[in-house]
């Protein structure tokens, strides 16, 4: 199964880059070779991820995020093998 993931994806339902069906299947992110589990949004072509900063919220109630630049490798998680 060779499925291509989008260049940009967000977990925020208000974002135009949100894809609920794809997120339901499970998307993993490797950033600079390390597995990241707190990614809010990524962009492969621009080489960045947004990660949640603890449990801190901004004034609108959204998670406070930090933009990190580097090599982004999204992949589909294979949780069905079990």
pLDDT digits (tens, 9 = 90+) for 50-80: 998 888 898 988 889 999 999 999 999 875 5
Q: What is the model's pTM?
A: 0.83
Q: Are residues 4 and 53 in contact, defined by beta-carbon separation less than 8 angstroms? A: no
Checking if the pLDDT of 37 tops 60, the result is yes
Mean pLDDT of all residues in 17-43:
94
Percent of the chain at pLDDT above 90?
70
Q: Dihedral of the CA atoms 49, 52, 22, 77 (nearest 10)? A: 80
- Per-residue pLDDT, 81: 47
pLDDT band, very low/low/confident/very high, at 39 (cuts 50, 70, 90): very high
């Amino acid at each position: 199964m060779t499925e291509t993931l989008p260049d940009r994806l967000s977990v925020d339902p208000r974002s135009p880059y949100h894809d609920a069906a794809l997120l339901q299947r499970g998307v993993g992110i490797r950033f600079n070779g390390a597995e990241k589990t707190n990614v809010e949004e990524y962009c492969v072509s621009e080489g960045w991820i947004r990660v949640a900063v603890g449990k801190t919220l901004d004034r609108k109630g959204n998670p406070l995020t930090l933009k990190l630049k580097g090599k982004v490798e999204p992949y589909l998680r294979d949780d069905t093998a079990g």
